[in-house]
Amino acid sequence: MQVVIGIDSSTQSTKALAVDVASGAVLGTGRAAHTVSTGPGRESDPREWWRALARAVAGTGWAERAAAVSVGGQQHGLVALDAAGEPVRPALLWNDVRSAPQAAALVAERGREGWARRAGSVPGASFTVAKWAWLREREPGAAARTAAVRLPHDYLTERLTGVAATDRGDASGTGWWTPEGYDTALLARLGLDQAMLPEVVPAGTPAGTVLPGLPLRAGTLVAAGTGDNMAAALGLGLTAGAPVLSLGTSGTVYAVTRGRPADPSGTVAGFADALDGWLPLACTLNCTLAVDRFAALLGRDREAVEPGGSAVVLPYLDGERTPDLPGATGLVHGLRHDTTPGQLLQAAYDGAAHSLLAALRQVLTAGGERLADDAELLLIGGGARGAAWQRTVRRLSGRPVRVPAAEELVALGAAAQAAGLLTGERADQVARRWGTAEGVLLEPLPRDDAAMERIADTLRRSGTLFES
C-alpha cells in the first residue's frame, strides 16, 4: 500500500492527513494549533508553523512510511527571511489589513486596468505585494535585513527540502506573478530581486525530497504544494464552472475556469489554479468567526436563529475585503422594538453570506463560464455542516447545495498532489477517483430577494461611514 501525507497550514492550525493512494481512504490524522497576534494586525511566527507541522505529521502515525508529501498553506502571507533563513519578524497574514494605504497607492500607480491585465487581480490589503510595500515603509530595518521572501507554504516546503520552490497557484496571489513569470519591473520598483523569490515549479513536478533529520523519512518526495484555495479545488477534483462556497475564518466563492480572469473592479481575484487552469475567487474577511461573535454577544447558540425581522447586520469586524472596505467596522441597522435576538443573529448570517453570493456570477463571468440557473453550489469549510449556514445559503441563493462528505479538503488536495507524483495522474483526476466531492444534496429554498436587496441598500447608504 502506498501512502501520502497532505498538510494544511491554515491561519490558526496545521492539519495533516495520511491517505491511501489507491482508495483515498484517510488512514491517520494529526493537528496542532498556531498562535495569531491580537494586536493592531494579524501576525504569526513561521517557526511555530514548522513545529506544528512536525506535530501534525507525527500525529498521523505514517510519517516514516509515507511515499510523498505536499503542503497547502494560507495564501498571501508575507514571510521575510534573513540570509540565514530565519524570519526577520513575524509573518504578516492574509487578514492583516494594515497595508490598505500601500495597496491603494500601488493601484493608483498602475491603474486598475493595468493591474488586472498584468497580474490578473487588483491588489488589496491582503496581497503580498501590499504587505511588502508596508514593510518597506513602516519597518525599513526589517526590509533591509530581508534576503528572501516566501509565502507560508513556500516556507514550509523549503524547510522540508532545502529548495526554494512554489507553484503558480499560490504565486498568483502575490501581485508580482504573471503567466509569463515574475514581473521584474514591479520587483525592481519594490526593491526586490527575483533571486529573493522561490522558483515556480510546474504542476506534477516535485519540489525536492525530504532532508535527513526531519519529521518525515529522508528522501520522501515533496510536491510543490500550493495555496489553500487552490488545494481545496484539487481536493474536490473540480471541473470547469462548478462553483464553490467555502465558509471558514474567511468566506470564499470560486470556480475553476478555462479562461484567464481579469476583473478591474477588484471584486474577483484572478488567481491561477494549481494545474493549468484558473481560479477566479472572491473573498471576505468576516465569515464564521464573525457570526459566532454575534452569537456570543447575544448570548445564544450559533444555531438559535429565528426568521423574519427588518434588521440588517454587516459583520465587518476585521474590516472587509469584499466589498473593499478595509477600514470598516461592524454595523447593525433597522432595529425595532419587536426585533428578537434570534432575528438579529440570522441577520448576521445573512450579512456574512451576502457578499459571497452577490459575487458568484462575477466569479464565473470573469473566467468565461456561465452559471446555469439550476446549478448547485458546493458548500465546504467549517460552516458547511451548520444547519443555520446551510439554510442561509439555500435561502439567499435559491440554489441546491451539495455538502461533500469529505473533510479537510485543503489537506486532501495536498494529498492528491502528492499522490500524482507517484501515479503520474493530474491531482484533480486523483481526487475524482477518490470521490471526494460526493455528499448530501440539499434542495433549494425560494430565493429571498428582499433580504438580499435590504442588505445591498444598507451597504449603499452606509458607504460614507466606512471611509477610512
d(CA 208, CA 220): 8
Residues with Cβ within 8 Å of 460's Cβ and at least 6 positions away in sequence, in order, are none
Residue 317 zone, left/alpha/beta (φ > 0; ψ -120 to 50; rest): alpha
d(CA 252, CA 265): 17
d(CA 252, CA 229): 8
**Collapsing DSSP states into helix, strand and coil, what is residue 331?**
strand
Active site residue 318: no
Please confirm whether the linkage preceding 323 is cis (ω < 30° from 0).
Answer: yes
Strands 269-272 and 278-284: antiparallel
**Collapsing DSSP states into helix, strand and coil, what is residue 403?**
strand
Written as one letter, the residue type at 265 is S
- How far CA 429 is from CA of 51, 204, 257, 425, in Å, comes to 32, 12, 16, 6
Total Cβ atoms within 10 A of residue 370: 10
Residue in 209, 236, 230, 98 with CA at minimum distance from that of residue 153: 230
Which residue among 96, 228, 324, 428 is the active-site one? 228
d(CA 304, CA 387): 10
Written as one letter, the residue type at 153 is H
Total Cβ atoms within 10 A of residue 6: 34
d(CA 264, CA 112): 5
Residue 334 zone, left/alpha/beta (φ > 0; ψ -120 to 50; rest): left
Residues 172, 265, 373, 346, CA torsion sign:
positive
Cell numbers representing residue 360 in the block? 458568484
Give, as one character, the DSSP assignment of residue 3. Answer: E
As annotated, the active-site residues are 228
